[in-house]
Structures are given as structure tokens and as C-alpha cells.
Amino acid sequence: MTTSHALAPALGTGRSPFASLVRQREVPVASALVVLVIVTTIANPLFVSAQGVKDLMLNATITVIMAVGLGAVIITNNIDLSVGSILGLVAFGTGSVFAAAPDIPIVFVFAIGLALGALLGAINGFLVTVARVPSLVITLGMLYIYRGVNNAWAGGQQYFAGDRPAAFGRLSVDTVLGVPIITVIAIVVVVLVAVFLARTRPGRDLYAIGSDDEAARLFGIPVSKRVLTAFVLNGTLTGLAGVLYASRFNSVGATTGTGLELDIVAAAVVGGIAIFGGSGSVVGAAIGAVLLTTITSSLTALNVDKFWQQAIVGVLILTAILVERIASIRKARRLRTSEATNA
Amino acid sequence: MTIDPTSDGPSPTATVLELRGARKTFGAVVALSSGSVRLRAGEINALVGENGAGKSTMVKILAGVHQPDSGDFLFDGHPIVFRSPAESKAAGVSVIYQEPTLFPDLTVAENIFVGRQPTTRLGFIDRAAMRADARALFDRLGVPIDPDRVAEGLSIADQQIIEIAKAISLDAKVLIMDEPTAALSGVEVERLFGVARALRDRGSAIMFISHRFDEVFGLSDRITVMRDGAFISEHTTSEVSTPEIVRAMVGRDVDQLFPKQEARVGDTVVRVDGLTRAGVFHDVSFEVSAGEIVGLAGLVGAGRTEVARALFGIDRYDAGSVTIGGRRLAPRDPMASIRAGIGFVPEDRRKQGLVMDMSVSRNTTLTLRTTLSRLGLVSARREREAAADWSRRLQVKTGSQELPVSTLSGGNQQKVVLAKWLATDPTFLIVDEPTRGIDVGTKSEVHRLISDLAGRGIAVLMISSELPEVLGMADRVLVMREGRLTATFDRDDATPETVINAATGAEPAHTTTTTETRR
Amino acid sequence: MPEQTTTPSAAGSAIDPRRASSASRDTAGASGDRDARDAARRDPESAAERTLRRRRLLTGRGAIMIYALLGTLLVCALTVPRFASVQTTGFLLLDAIPILMIAMPMALVIITGEIDLSVASTAGLTSAAMGVLWAAGWGIPEIFVVCVLIGIGCGALNGLLVTAIGLPSLAVTIGTLALYRGLALVVIGDNAVADFPPALTSFFTSKIGATGIPTAMIGVAVIIAFFGVLLHFSSFGRTLPAIGFSKEAASFVGVHVGRAKFWMFVATGVVSALVGIYWTLRYSSARSDNATGIELAVIAAVLLGGVSIFGGRGSIPGVVAGVLIISSVSYALRLGGISDVVLNVVTGLLLVGSVVTPSLIAVVREKRRTRRAARDVLAASAADAA
Amino acid sequence: ALTAGSSDGDATTGSGSDGEQSIAFVPKQLNNPYTDVVLGGGEEASKSIGYDYSVVGPLEASASSQVTFINTLTQQGANVIVIAANDPDAVGPALQEARDGGAKIVAFDSDTNPDYRDVFISQVEAKDVALIQIRQMSEQIGGEGDIAILSATANATNQNEWIQYIEEEVDTNPDYAGINIVSKVYGDDDDAKSFQEAQGLLQANPDLKGIISPTTVGIAATARYLSTSEYKGEVALTGLGLPNEMREFVKDGTVTAFALWDPAQLGYVAAYAGQALVDGTITGAEGDTFEAGDLGERTVGADGIVIVGPPTEFDADNIDDYDF
Ligand SMILES: Nc1ncnc2c1ncn2[C@@H]1O[C@H](COP(=O)(O)OP(=O)(O)OP(=O)(O)O)[C@@H](O)[C@H]1O
Ligand SMILES: Nc1ncnc2c1ncn2[C@@H]1O[C@H](COP(=O)(O)OP(=O)(O)OP(=O)(O)O)[C@@H](O)[C@H]1O
Ligand SMILES: [Mg+2]
Ligand SMILES: [Mg+2]
């Protein structure tokens, strides 16, 4: 009766490489990015000059890393609103480390930053999984707490790029084959996390949990452990972003990273990660982050009135979730009718 | 014949998993009072019992989802308590739950292998191997499901098959299947049985739950009977007959259960004409008259609930019409249906019938919220009065009207649902699985209530998966199969055989001669 | 049909719906002393019931929040010099008003299981529009009307996207958060309009006589009362927790789930617009960045007030207390010369603590219970096996 | 003489204990390095006049965020409130209330609406600041070409005033006839934002010759961007900056010259003005004079404005002489 006989072609789940490529969730956002770059370049060729491209990559780097981390959390149907505060703490921590030990090897600084980020992420994950409280509430609270700690720690103190070794600052200046070093780091991060999520068992568990956590529990997936992993991963990557922030920008202080959280959520959502978990990929989130940072540059390059920029970003976010929704409705309908005809 | 479960059975096979005198409560609800079962290697044990007897609760204890409040629990002769499904799985227990537990966003292949996907030498998931393994499993079950499609949108039957594939792929020591065949057709059931027998012959201990006696007798080596959360008896299949099992299950003669009053059937109240929803149900037409109880039978997934939901206005329909009291009912508008005099007791009490956090009194008066209010404001006093009034009429047992309805037992919760609909003074009442998961005592009370309502001229549409309930209560029985109305029987023509045949399509020739679908 | 199982007729007639409905129609019917007498005779609430109901009222989450507020005020008054003064009332309430206002509809939105992050942006857009229209020479009444229309529009767009198209409100309102703030920038750019009539602006900072209570609180009280009555006493309000608990359960009793949510979003938009007006006139400054970032403060206060983020539960008194606790603590800290830094931490701890503590207690209790049961079962099984 | 140690702008408790006069500084935002230098001067002067000194303020520089702090100061009975307004009008009613309660209001750095304060301590003549910046720019780009302005927030009173003078000067002075202001952007005194705005400017205007950034955060961020990009040495940058922040960029050739007054003097004079108001030495009327400690006598000019002193221009030759 209702088993799906020979439904592969009807559903388009056939193995035609092109067909399956087109159905990737990353496609709409990637196309939007390409179109945006092309249009901007036509109007202003400088947009893709060596410097222009370098700037675009640099701008996207930190957002990309954070969007990838948060993406992993959202895939489990959780959220971490405290990422802006975590970034601020780590960035200021980086400044402090250099101030305290100017000759410290840069690798150590990265290690410290990542560890601090991981710790903060772990606190969030711990509260969410142990107390079984919705992550939105917990991390909203932690947003305030971490920011408060940052303020208390930093006070009026700020550390400037000049306080840090030149080699550290050069990470966000020097390039490898035209790609800034910190961007290379970001690309490596995207690839590693993407492989982790797509090709390892714990990674796939995250999707299963986001898809239906009750079923995951029944299935014997260690749900709490995995969710904790996602939060720690997110914290670690946000920590990395914090260190890179200190490398790239002039000053780090009490307010660094304020208000970043919604931008990062927006990047992940625009990149096709469903806000209620279970689907999407961190590659999509990364492209979403690139799209959102590029659109700002692009509007400036196009001399679009700066007052319109934010409104356009808003429209973009709404469009992204609309497209996503329409695609999923169509898919559901296709699947349903194919069931019916096969019944 | 009845065997004491503690004494060894006739065949000297080793007991793998055993539960004795297990008790489990959920708040005020006693799901299991004294559950016992013994699973032996190389043997298939069928667990039977009425809805709500506690079968699934026992399955969940064996699976580590729930932990027993008390009782004995032995695995390979050693005391054990599984604290989580992961533990039971690690011990070699593989479970198919009654409700499919698939991940809608993952592919079919992944759904089967999550957590133990085949990997390449580098430790990465080998998708090709996973796909091939999934396909091999489906071949074994003889069903062609595409391993690469996502699970979302699969039919209940396909979902069930994936659950089966998942469970057998573990090659577990113990395989527990909670109503795996509820949504399957004959061919698929046969294939599943083939696989189950093969597993048994290789030494697995299998527990199998089904409400269909032909399956129980066709597959099992032993039958364990449960009633009201307690173990009743264990039998060797070859030495027992269906009536014996039924008696053990219900604990009394079937006829006594359903006190059907003779009804004076009046004028037609509701007419459903050509109701269709693409892919779900097709061209469904029937009438219900005042004072008449119409039973709607069919297998799970036949689309009965869907028809009722569309009729009432919860879901949309693509074609057809619903007429009540001579007036056409607006589609997609439950409020309009309520105003027109329809009440609907839904099948899932906990998610659809009640707001579990709300008090008994608020729940009872939720349907009366506009009637009880003036200028949009509800009178608290009148609300309390109405609620207390209806609780008393239906003899709802509760510590207080102000307690959350979640603290009530299943049967009393169902009475609250009935009360809130009776309070609207309906002319047409739909009851979907009205006695699912409630104890026997309350069950007959509910039946009496429904019967009484019909006696007072209300038209009743009763959807039920329990054949005795349908046969005992209904003046007329409609049968659905795969989204279509396949047969209509008058009370006297409806026998278990005719209805099951119409529901499964087993002997279409037979059904066509005795029935004619009313249009 | 065996005789003994057929119902005794008493039970049968007890459920006669016609009789029952006529009874309820009686009580619904107009007046008459017969009614009153009947009610007195029939009011089924026993003394025990009444006590139980009262006890639940006095121990509910809303009541606890009110005790917490009173406790907070007492501690502040005792430890912070000058806190216990009329001036405090005025300044504290002036600061609290925007959060207090938006928290009302926000509580309802969250009770229905949705969320609205765009509230502060809506207020900003309203403020911007107000400035531009005033600068263009419009009259105040017309401007107010336009502002409210803007609020309706913003809320309606959110509502439509969420209910008609079925998008998740968290994502939608992150988008409109950016969009509405962006439109505010488009409308007024980097200008600030400040020349509102002094009579009007001073009204918004004025106090009622010597009470120290801002005059604007009268309006706010009306809003609180409106939403309180709506949630707790109206037939519409009965349905909101039902929606939040289960959409299905609500639609089965004839609730238009989409419609109800839509109107809740519109209400949020309107109140946000009112906050935009208040903000503009209180600070006599219409700018695009007014009220930036207060959405998280509102949500924090609502959640602290005991509204469940999953929907289905929450009360207006609790939310009012939640808002006032945060405002009092922050005002006391400032008055005590303690930096805002600490305030951030305190807000966070209040929020996290208020949800984690009860949940943690429940989790631990449950864990202990199952562990004990498991131990008993193990012991019993071992004894039996031996 | 007047250099500020790195005082952390942390809110120090300052309940005006009995008998002692209290002075409270409300900067635009805590934790801003420029502000810290200003406050350093304020603290020093407060100590020497024997006033109880405190700093309170918001963590982010939005228009309304200062009001609640003014309110608490009012209630604490602060004698002098020294404020750098984020918005000239938003703080008005609150300041009025403070005055009704007997406080003297000194605006500094960024003025409020004159109705709401007694005196305004201005760094320098606004016009002077504007002229220095455009002159430096003109010198560096050879008198012609496209330039852009990267400011703080769009509503910053002082920045907008300077920008207005710069624009007027470019329009009217024949020496600057070849100069074109092609764009004005706002970095909101946020490091990262200013950084990206600078970058956007260069991309949108390929022919850009120079950027004027009349804000310390903006100029530092822009300098950092330029020094790390191919535009280093190609695009001129000037404006108002802190020598300690800019030293690196002056040395590596990104920046030739920039300007600033000694911010510490601003806070210093503000504190003395507050004392003079409390003592009744001045009322804020034109022509009033008061003694500002080591800095000597100051005169209240038109509209109650007190000028602190001429701006200093910094370049590679003199920058090492300054430490703030
Ligand atoms: N989580 C729960 N909370 C409250 N009551 C529950 C819960 N789970 C089961 N019950 C109740 O326990 C009783 C036994 O349910 P169970 O699902 O075990 O029955 P069953 O024999 O499997 O019935 P069916 O044949 O319908 O599947 C029912 O009354 C049910 O309502
Ligand atoms: N939203 C939906 N989209 C697509 N198909 C659906 C949807 N809901 C239900 N179906 C399909 O409709 C059919 C009937 O569903 P359902 O199982 O509720 O029927 P039923 O006869 O009421 O069964 P029962 O009441 O015994 O559970 C099933 O095949 C199911 O897969
Ligand atoms: Mg069951
Ligand atoms: Mg059903």
C-alpha cells in the first residue's frame, strides 16, 4: 500500500549531481552573495580590487567564525545569545594577557582565548542541560552576566593595538595567496566544523537532537552530552573570534562585542539554518555571515544612502526566512503528493 | 491453560529478560500496578491486553525510558534497572516504540543508523556504505524505500517499516515490538513475520504486541495477557484459544461491557458529502441521525481522524461539503462548528483535549467561555458553578476543581473532556477513541454516557480502533480503508469478520456482497 | 442488554445536556432574586475548595513575585540612603515606564508561545516619525494618530508573517528588529527633533501632586489594567494560555489561534508605538536610536515575572512585579553609587536564578526519586534472584 | 603639568557627605579613553578645591541613557553636575530638575541646550578646531582633491558644529577651492564600526585623497585601517586624536599631523568653574571671571561659554613630548 515505490525520480532525490547540488540549502544564499558581488562590481569595479576583496574577507572573518559556532548550537534547537559578551570578554582577556606578558608566544594567547571561550560556553551548556531550562532564557541571562563581568574587569581600561606585539596585529594584515591569515583560520574552522557535523557520528547526533530531542533520547543518543558539546564548541569558536578581534581592531575594552548576538543569529538564519533546529549547515551559516557583512560594504560601495542600509539588511533577513519557508512547504507538498500517488 | 509466570514454561529455553510485579505511576495515574513478563531466548512472546492495559508502559520500562517504582527486574538472571534507553541498547535490547520516533529532518538511511553509522578507515561516516546497508535491510523486508529521502512526510506505514529496519539491524539479543503491524498491510506483515521468525531461530528473545488475534496466534510461541496494569496470565500459544484469551483480557463477557440502549433514530442531523483532502482521504460521504451512534472503524492510519478533523474545521478539505441541521457548515472554522452544535472529543487527550496546566474548572468551561461572560468578561462565580455542575453530573473524581487537570487519572481526564463538550449542548458529538487508555471501570461509564446521549437524541459519530467497542455501541458501522469509505454495516450485519475484511481489504468479494457504501 | 449494567435513571438525567444548558442559561439570564437565591443555594464551592483556591492564589508564582518585590523594596529602603523617598518613586517609575508598558503585551505574546524582538525598533520608528511630522508642522493629535497607526502596521506585519505564513516569530522579529530600526533611520536620518511644546514634554515628566508618582503612570495603569483584565478575566484571555500550551487543544475548542496571535502582535506594536511617543516626549528628543536595545530588558523582566518561555503560563501581576524588581534594584544600585556594571550582573543573576532554581530542584528531586526506586528494585530483584 | 594618569572611569561612590561639597562628572560614556583623560583633570582639580569627586554615567552613549544618572545625582543632592551631553535636549528636563534642587550645571566637551546649564567649558573656539583640521588636510593633500569626514555619532553636538565650520570654510575660502567633501560617515565612536566605515569610504570613493576624523576613536580606527592597507601613505588622515593612541601611526607614516587640546585641562577647568558657580564668584553671565587653579584666570564669554585654550598640533617632531 503506502510504501514508496520508485519514488526517487519523482522526488528528485536521484543521484544526478546537478539536481542534488541545486537542492542544497546553501544555494539560495550563495547565489544571493554572487549576485550582490556582481552587481556591486559592475557599479564600482574597485569592489573586487585586491584591497577590496581583502577587506571583504577580513570583515567577514570574525562573523563567519561566530556564525559557524552558533550554527552548531541552533542545529540542536538551542540558542546562545551571550556570544557578543563572550567575544568581549575574550578580546579584553587577550589584551590583558599581552599587557601582563608582552613576550608571551602568540600560540599561548590563542590557547588561553580558546580555553576561556570554551569555559564560558560550557557554563551556558551546563545550565541548559543540567537544569533543563530553555537556552533562550539562560543565555539571555548570561549575556548580562558576562557583560557585567567584562565591565567590572575592564572598567575604563582599554588596550590598544599598539600594546600588542606587531606580529599579532599582522595576522589580520598579512596574506597567504591574497587571503589574510585570519581568514585562512576562519576557512579552516568552517571546513573542520562542517566535516564534524556532516561526517562524524557525534556531529550527526546534533542534527538528530535538533530534529526531535525526545526521539533522540529514546534512541539512546546522549542528548545532554551532545548539547553541551555544541555549547562548548560555540564558546571555543567565539573565543577564537575574540582573539582575532583583538588582532584586527584597535581597541578592546568593556563594551567590545556589545549587541553582536542578533547579527550572528541573523547570519545563521540567513544561511539556511532552521531556527528550530535539525537542518541547515555551517557552510550555509558561513555564507550567510559573508552575505551580511558584504551587503554593508556593498551598499557603501554603491553609495546607497547609509540610512537605508539597516532597513535593507532587515528585508534581507525576512526574505531569507521566507524563501526557506516556501521551499520547505513545496518540499512537504511534493513529498505528500508523491506518497499519495504511490499509495 | 494458565501458567504461573514464575514457574518454568514448557520449553526449557533460557530466560533473558524478566520483569515481575512492576509498578509505575504518573502522578495520580497508575499505568502499571503489577506488570510481569518473561522473555526467553529463541521464543516469541506476544503481549496482549486492552487499550490502556499498560503494555507500552512495560515496554518503556524494559527499554529504560521509565524506571519502575517497584518490582523485580532481571536480565540474564542478574538484577538490573535500565536508567536510560542508551543503557538498554548497550545491553542488547532493541525496541520499536508504539509511536514512530523518527527524525523528520534526517534521511531514511540516517534514521536507521544514527549513532552507529558505518565509518571509513579515517573515522568519517561512509555515506555510500550506510546507503547500501539501508538498502540491504529494506530488501530483507521486501520494501523499496529510498534511503536518501528525508523522513518527513513519510506515511505511517513507511515510518513503521523504518522503525522495524532500525530495530532488526541491531541484531539484538532482545527485540521488543510495540504494535509494529498497526499500520501495515498483509504482505508487509508477512515479511516482518518472516524476519522475526528468522531472528528467533537464531536465538533472539522477541516480544510482540498486537491487537490482532490472527497475528498473535500466527506468530507467537507464548501469549502474555495483561489487564488494568497487571499481569493476568501466560499461555502457550498452541494450547489456548481466542475466546480464552479474550476472556482473560476483558475479565468478563464482552456483551456486558457495552450497555447499549435502544435508540429512537430520528431525522438526519449531519450530512457529509464527497469530502476529500488530497492524499489523505477521498470522497467520504455519510449521514448521522438524531439518536444514532455511528461507529467509524478502520486500521490506524486509515484516515478516520482526518475526516473528523476536516468535518469539524480543524483541517482544510479540498472538496465536498458538510451540512448540519440543513445548513452548510463553513470550512476551517471550529468556532462555527461549535455554534452549529458540534462537539468533538479528540483522540489525544493530553495534547488536544485538555490544557494540562489549567485547573479542572477552567478546562471544563473552556468551551463555555463566551456563554459565561458578559461584555467579554467571564464571571468567575458562574464559571465555578458550571464546572462544578458538570463535574458532578459526570462524576469526575478530583480533589478539587482548582487542581490542574494533569493530576487526574486518565478516565477522569476523559470525563472532563466529555463534560466540556456536553456543556455546549451539542446536537452532534464526535468522539475519537473515547476510551483509549482508560481503566475498565471508567470505560463502561463512558460507554454508558455516550449511549445515554444518543438516547436523548444526540447524533454521535464514534471513531474507535476497538472492534468490540464499535460493534457493541454502534447502530451503524462505517469502515474506512486507505482514506476511503469501504463499507457500511447495519448493527446486525456488523461482525468482527466483516468489519476487519472491509478495513484490511482482505476479502473484497465478501464485503461487496454484504454492503453498499451509502452516498 | 443485561439489566444491572444499564444506568440508573438518576445518573442518566444528571447528564441531560438540555437540562444542564437550561440551568446555565438560567444563571446566564438577566437578574431576579430567584437567581441570587439559586446561586446562593447552588454555589457549589465548599469552604475547603475556597481555602484551596485562596491558598493557590497566595502561593502562585505571581504572588511570590509580589513578595519578592516587597522584600526588595524593604531591603533597598533600609540599606540605601534616600531610597525611601517620594523622589525615588518618581524617577524610578519614569525609568520603568517603557519596560513596564511593553512587558504587558509581551507577556501575552510569550504566553501564546511566540516572542517579539522588534518592540524597541517599533518605538524607535514611531519616535522618528513623530519628529519628522512635528518638524513638518503637523498637529500633535494627528501625529499621535499616525504613531498608533505605525504601531498597528509594525505589529500587523509581524503578526502576518508569523500567523499567515507560519514563520517562527524569533526569526521574523529579528528581521523586523533590523527593518524597523532601519526605517527609523530612513525617516529621520541623523537629525534630532527637540522642539516639542514644553507644555507637552513637561507633562510627561510631571508628578501627581506630592505623591511623586509620574502623571503618565495613570495611562500606564490603564494599560496594565487592560492587559490584566484581558488575560485573567476575559473570555479571550482564557484562550491564550491554551494556545501556548497546545495549539491543537486551543483550536479544538474553537479558538482562532492565528487570529488571536495576530492581535497580540498588533497589541504589542501599538504599545511599542505608545512607548515611542512617551520616550520622545519624556526626553523631548525624537531620534532614530531612541529605545535601542530595550527588547532584551523587557523579555528579561517578563521571564523574571514568571512567564514561561514555552508559553502557556504567566500572570500580569507577576510581570509587573518582575519589571519593578529590576527597576528598583537598578535604581537603588545607582543611588548607592554602584556602577551599572554590577547592575548587568544582578539582572542576569536574577533571570538565571529565577528559572534555574525551581527547575534544578525539580530535576534533582526527580533524579533522587528514580534513583531510589531503581535501587529498591535492584535490591528486591537481587533478593529474589538469590 | 596637567597630565592624567590612567584613572579608571569607574564610578566612585560620592554621596556628598555632610558639609562637604560634591561634584559629579557625567561623561558621554564610561570606558572611553579620551573621557578618561578628561576625567583625570577633573579629579585633580576636584581634589585641590576639596570637593567630593565622583563619576557616573552610562555604558553606552545613547541620547537618553544619561538622564537616569542625572536623576540619581539630583536625589543625592550633588552640588555640581558636570556633563558632556550625548544629546543637547534629551538631558534638558532632568538637568532642570537638578537645578531646581540647587545643583549647578557645568557642561563640558559637548554642550547641552544653553537653557539647561550655567556654563559650557569648551575645548577651544569651535571654529579654531575646524580651521586647524581643514588647514592640515589641505597641506597634506596639496590643496586639492576629494576628502571625506568620519565622525562620531550623527547627533554629536560638537562634532556637528566643527563639521559645519569645515564645510563653510571649504565653500567660502578660495584657498580650498580645489577641495571637495564627497562623503560624511559616522563610526558612532565604536572602534569596529569606525574601522569599517573608513574602509567603506575608500572603496566607495576611489579618488579619495584624505579623511578628516574629528573624534579620537574615529581617527585611531581609521589610522589602523590605513596602516594595514595599501592606502597607507596614499590617503592623508587628520583630525582630533590622543597622542598616545596615534604615536604608532605618526611614526609609521600613516599620519603626518593631527590636533587636539589637552583634554585634562577641560576637566580641570570644569571643576573650577563648578566651584566658582557654587561660591557665587560667577553666574554664567558674559564677562564673569574665575581662577582656574594652575591654569590661571578664565573669562566667561558669550552664551556662557568658557574657552580652555588653543589646540595643539602634533606631528613626528613633537609627539613624544606629550603623554596623554
Ligand atoms: N507519561 C504518562 N503520563 C500519564 N499517564 C500515562 C503516561 N503514559 C501512560 N499513561 C497512562 O498509563 C496507562 C497505560 O498506558 P499504556 O500506553 O501503557 O497502555 P497500552 O496497553 O500500551 O495501550 P494501547 O493498546 O492503547 O497502546 C494509560 O491510562 C495511560 O493514559
Ligand atoms: N499533515 C499530514 N500530511 C500528510 N499526511 C498526513 C497528515 N496527517 C495525517 N496524514 C496521513 O493521513 C493518514 C491517516 O492518519 P491517521 O493515522 O490519523 O488516521 P486514523 O484513521 O485517524 O488513525 P487512528 O485514529 O487510528 O490513529 C495517514 O496515512 C497519515 O500518514
Ligand atoms: Mg501501547
Ligand atoms: Mg485517529
With a CB cutoff of 8 Å and minimum separation 6, the contacts of B507 are: B501
> Does A321 touch chain C if contact means CB atoms closer than 8 Å?
yes
Average pLDDT, chain B: 86
Q: Is C383 a domain residue?
A: no
Work out the minimum CA distance from B372 to partner chain C, whole angstroms: 7
Mean pLDDT of B150-160: 81
Q: How many Cβ atoms are within 10 Å of B196's Cβ, its own excluded?
A: 21
Mean pLDDT of D200-229: 89
Mean pLDDT of A172-195: 91
Is C283 within 8 Å of D63 when comparing Cβ atoms? yes
Residues B197-219 have pLDDT tens digits of: 999 999 999 999 987 788 899 99
> Does D71 touch chain C if contact means CB atoms closer than 8 Å?
yes
Neighbours of chain A (3+ CB pairs under 8 A): B, C, D
Q: Is residue C380 a contact partner of residue B72, using CB atoms and an 8 Å limit?
A: yes
Q: Is C48 a domain residue?
A: no
Is D220 within 8 Å of A47 when comparing Cβ atoms? no
Residues within 8 A of C (CB atoms), D 42-61 only: 54, 56, 58-60
Q: Is C377 a domain residue?
A: no
Is D89 within 8 Å of C194 when comparing Cβ atoms? yes
Q: How many Cβ atoms are within 10 Å of A23's Cβ, its own excluded?
A: 12
Terminal Cα distance for chain B, rounded: 48
Is D64 within 8 Å of C290 when comparing Cβ atoms? yes
Average pLDDT, chain A: 85
Examine the pLDDT at B12 and tell me if it is beyond 90. no
Q: Is C19 a domain residue?
A: no
Examine the pLDDT at A226 and tell me if it is beyond 70. yes
Closest to D319 in 3D by CA, of D225, D249, D267: D249
Q: Is residue C305 a contact partner of residue C320, using CB atoms and an 8 Å limit?
A: yes
Q: Is residue C196 a contact partner of residue B339, using CB atoms and an 8 Å limit?
A: no
Q: Provide the pLDDT for residue A21.
A: 59
Q: Provide the pLDDT for residue D271.
A: 93
As a whole number of angstroms, the distance between CA C356 and CA C353 comes to: 5
Tally of structural domains, chain C: 1
CA of B180 to the centre of ligand 3 (A): 11
Examine the pLDDT at B117 and tell me if it is beyond 70. yes
Which residue bears the cell 563653510? D168
Is C374 within 8 Å of B260 when comparing Cβ atoms? no
Question: Which residues in chain B are contacts of C373 at CB distance < 8 A?
Answer: 67-70
As a whole number of angstroms, the distance between CA C69 and CA C63 comes to: 10
Q: Which residue of B has its CA nearest to C239?
A: B366
Question: Which residues in chain C are contacts of B423 at CB distance < 8 A?
Answer: 17, 20-21, 24
B484 burial via Cβ count (<10 Å: 0-12, 13-18, 19+): middle
* Ligand 1 contact, B410 CB (< 6 A): yes
- What percentage of chain B has pLDDT greater than the value 70? 92
The dihedral sign for the CA sequence B278, B281, B287, B290: negative
As a whole number of angstroms, the distance between CA D237 and CA D250 comes to: 10
CATH number, position C108: 1.10.3470
Mean pLDDT of D194-220: 89
Q: Is residue B338 a contact partner of residue B424, using CB atoms and an 8 Å limit?
A: yes
Q: Is C175 a domain residue?
A: yes
Question: Which residues in chain B are contacts of C252 at CB distance < 8 A?
Answer: 312, 314, 334, 344, 346, 352-353
Q: How many Cβ atoms are within 10 Å of C7's Cβ, its own excluded?
A: 18
Question: Which residues in chain D are contacts of C94 at CB distance < 8 A?
Answer: 71
D289, β-bridge pairs: D299
* Ligand 1 contact, B56 CB (< 6 A): yes
Q: Which residue of B has its CA nearest to A330?
A: B153
Closest to D311 in 3D by CA, of D268, D281, D269, D266: D266
Would you place residue B395 in the very low, low, confident or very high pLDDT band (cuts 50, 70, 90)? confident
Q: Per mean pLDDT, which range of A17-26, A44-53, B95-104, D97-106 is the poorest?
A: A17-26
- Tally the residues of chain D: 324
Is D199 within 8 Å of A297 when comparing Cβ atoms? yes
Q: Provide the pLDDT for residue C351.
A: 83
Helix (H, G, I), strand (E, B) or coil at B510: helix
Q: Provide the pLDDT for residue C58.
A: 80
Domain extent, residue C294, equals 63-349
Select from B154, B155, B156 the residue to mutate for testing ligand 2; criterion: most ligand atoms less than 8 Å from CB: B156
Q: Provide the pLDDT for residue C158.
A: 97
Higher pLDDT, B30 or A20: B30
ipTM value of the model?
0.85
Closest to B5 in 3D by CA, of B41, B33, B35: B35
Q: Is residue B454 a contact partner of residue B261, using CB atoms and an 8 Å limit?
A: yes
Question: Which residues in chain D are contacts of A256 at CB distance < 8 A?
Answer: 191-192
Closest to D32 in 3D by CA, of D190, D198, D221: D190
With a CB cutoff of 8 Å and minimum separation 6, the contacts of A330 are: none
Higher pLDDT, A130 or A226: A226
Question: Looking at chain A, which runs of residues are DSSP E strands?
Answer: 159-160, 175-176, 179-180, 251-252
Q: Provide the pLDDT for residue C10.
A: 39
Closest to C315 in 3D by CA, of C305, C324, C325, C328: C305
Q: Provide the pLDDT for residue C202.
A: 86
Examine the pLDDT at B327 and tell me if it is beyond 60. yes
Which residue bears the cell 480533589? B399
Q: Is C313 a domain residue?
A: yes
Q: Is residue D21 a contact partner of residue D52, using CB atoms and an 8 Å limit?
A: yes
Q: Is C345 a domain residue?
A: yes
Orientation angle between helical segments C47-59 and C61-79, nearest 10 degrees = 50
Instruction: Write the CA distances from A230 to A70, A235, A274, A277, D38, integer angstroms.
Output: 8, 9, 16, 12, 45
Q: Is residue D231 a contact partner of residue D202, using CB atoms and an 8 Å limit?
A: yes
Pairing of strands D80-83, D22-26: parallel
Would you place residue B458 in the very low, low, confident or very high pLDDT band (cuts 50, 70, 90)? very high
Helix (H, G, I), strand (E, B) or coil at D103: coil
Question: Which residues in chain A are contacts of C157 at CB distance < 8 A?
Answer: none
Q: Is residue D107 a contact partner of residue D83, using CB atoms and an 8 Å limit?
A: yes
SS3 content of chain A, % helix, strand, coil (to 5): 75, 0, 20
CA of B436 to the centre of ligand 1 (A): 9
Select from B299, B304, B435, B485 the residue to mutate for testing ligand 2; criterion: most ligand atoms less than 8 Å from CB: B304
Index of the ligand 2 atom closest to the CA of residue A336: 4
Which residues have any ligand 2 atom within 6 Å of their CB?
Answer: A 336; B 155-156, 280, 298, 300-306, 347, 465
Among B56, B96, B105, the residue to mutate for chain A (most A Cβ within 10 A) = B105
Examine the pLDDT at B98 and tell me if it is beyond 60. yes
pLDDT digits (tens), chain C, 386 positions: 343 433 333 344 445 544 444 444 444 434 444 444 444 444 556 677 778 777 777 878 888 999 999 999 999 999 988 898 888 899 999 999 999 999 999 999 999 999 999 999 999 999 999 999 999 999 999 999 999 999 999 999 999 999 999 999 988 998 999 999 999 999 998 788 988 998 898 898 888 888 889 999 999 999 999 999 999 999 999 999 999 999 989 999 999 999 999 999 999 999 999 999 999 999 888 988 899 889 888 998 999 999 988 888 899 999 999 999 999 998 998 888 887 778 788 888 988 888 888 888 888 888 888 888 888 888 888 887 76
Mean pLDDT of A263-275: 89
Select from B161, B181, B280, B312 the residue to mutate for testing ligand 2; criterion: most ligand atoms less than 8 Å from CB: B280
Examine the pLDDT at A235 and tell me if it is beyond 90. yes
Please identify every residue whose CB atom is under 5 Å from ligand 3, which is an ion. B 55-56, 98
Select from A333, A336, A338 the residue to mutate for testing ligand 2; criterion: most ligand atoms less than 8 Å from CB: A336
Ligand nearest to the CA of A214: 1
Examine the pLDDT at B85 and tell me if it is beyond 70. yes
Q: How many Cβ atoms are within 10 Å of C304's Cβ, its own excluded?
A: 27
Q: How many Cβ atoms are within 10 Å of C346's Cβ, its own excluded?
A: 19
Mean pLDDT of A136-143: 89
Of D192, D197, D231, the CB nearest to A249: D192
With a CB cutoff of 8 Å and minimum separation 6, the contacts of A279 are: A25, A75, A207, A210, A211, A272, A273, B105
Mean pLDDT of B501-510: 64
Q: Is C310 a domain residue?
A: yes
Average pLDDT, chain D: 85
Instruction: Write the CA distances from A104 to A99, A109, A165, A244, integer angstroms.
Output: 10, 7, 9, 16
Is C181 within 8 Å of A310 when comparing Cβ atoms? yes
As a whole number of angstroms, the distance between CA B96 and CA B64 comes to: 13
Question: Which residues in chain D are contacts of A169 at CB distance < 8 A?
Answer: 228
**Residue located nearest, by CA, to atom 29 of ligand 1:** B437
Is A55 within 8 Å of D245 when comparing Cβ atoms? no
Question: Which residues in chain C are contacts of A136 at CB distance < 8 A?
Answer: 115, 170, 309
Residues within 8 A of D (CB atoms), A 44-103 only: 44, 46-47, 50-52, 54-55, 59
Helix (H) or strand (E) holding C275: helix C257-282
| A121, A126, A129, A134: CA torsion to nearest 10 | -60
Mean pLDDT of B160-172: 87
**Residue located nearest, by CA, to atom 29 of ligand 2:** B301
Q: Provide the pLDDT for residue B506.
A: 63
Would you place residue B273 in the very low, low, confident or very high pLDDT band (cuts 50, 70, 90)? very high
Examine the pLDDT at A343 and tell me if it is beyond 60. no
DSSP 8-state code for residue D181: E
Closest to B159 in 3D by CA, of A260, A223, A2, A305: A2
Q: Per mean pLDDT, which range of B313-327, C75-89, D12-26 is the poorest?
A: D12-26
Q: Is residue C203 a contact partner of residue C218, using CB atoms and an 8 Å limit?
A: no
pTM of the prediction? 0.86
Residues A37-46 have pLDDT tens digits of: 999 889 888 7
Mean pLDDT of A302-328: 83
Work out the minimum CA distance from C185 to partner chain A, whole angstroms: 5
Helix (H) or strand (E) holding A30: helix A26-43
As a whole number of angstroms, the distance between CA C329 and CA C334 comes to: 9
Residues A73-128 have pLDDT tens digits of: 999 999 999 999 999 999 999 999 999 988 899 999 999 999 999 999 999 999 99
Would you place residue B441 in the very low, low, confident or very high pLDDT band (cuts 50, 70, 90)? low
Which residue bears the cell 541620547? D63
Cα angle value B432/B438/B443 (rounded, 5°): 80
Query: For B423, phi and psi rounded to 5 degrees?
Result: -65, -20
Cell, residue B489: 454495516
